[in-house]
Amino acid sequence: MDETTARRVTGIAALATAATLIIEVPLYFVYSGPPPDWNVLSRLLIGITALTCLIVLVTAFRELVRRVNPEHEWAGTLACAAGLVYATVTLVSHGLEAGAVIATDHSIDPTITVDGTYILYGSIGRLLLALFLTSVGFAISRTRLLPRWTHRSAYVLAAVNLAFVPSLFFGNDPAHFYAANGWGTTASMGALLSYWLLALGVAAYRSANRLTAPAPRGAGRRGAPVR
Domain extent listing, the chain: 3-210
pLDDT tens sequence across 10-42 = 999 999 999 999 999 889 888 888 899 999 999
Residue 152 pLDDT class (50, 70, 90 cuts): very high
The per-residue pLDDT for 213 is 54
In whole angstroms, what is the distance from residue 53 CA to residue 18 CA?
Answer: 9
pLDDT score recorded for residue 40: 93
pLDDT at 146: 92
Residue 56: name the closest of 18, 8, 14 by CA: 14
Q: What SS3 string covers the chain?
A: CCHHHHHHHHHHHHHHHHHHHHHHHHHHHCCCCCCCHHHHHHHHHHHHHHHHHHHHHHHHHHHHHHHHCHHHHHHHHHHHHHHHHHHHHHHHHHHHHHHHHHHCCCCCCHHHHCHHHHHHHHHHHHHHHHHHHHHHHHHHHHHCCCCHHHHHHHHHHHHHHHHCHHHHHCCCCCCCCCCCCCCHHHHHHHHHHHHHHHHHHHHHHHHHHHHHCCCCCCCCCCCCCCC
Q: Percent of the chain at pLDDT above 70?
A: 93
Mean pLDDT of the chain: 89
**Which pLDDT score is estimated for 174?**
84
What's the CA gap between 36 and 222, in Å, rounded?
58
Residue 214 has pLDDT above 60, yes or no: no
Closest by CA position to 10, among listed 86, 76, 71: 76
Which of 130, 192, 207 shows the shortest CA–CA distance to 165? 130
Question: What distance in Å separates the CA atoms of residue 3 and residue 31, rounded to the nearest whole number?
Answer: 45
Q: What is the C-alpha to C-alpha distance for residues 213 and 43, in angstroms, rounded to an integer?
A: 40
pLDDT tens profile 46-68: 999 999 999 999 999 999 999 99
| Contact criterion met (CB below 8 Å) for 179 and 172 | yes
Per-residue pLDDT tens digits for 99-140: 999 998 888 989 889 988 999 999 999 999 999 999 999 999
| pLDDT per residue as tens digits for the range 75-98 | 999 999 999 999 999 999 999 999
pLDDT beyond 60 at 224: no
Measured between alpha carbons, how far is 166 from 56 in angstroms, rounded to an integer? Answer: 30
Say whether pLDDT at 198 is over 90. yes
Q: What does the pLDDT read at residue 205? A: 92
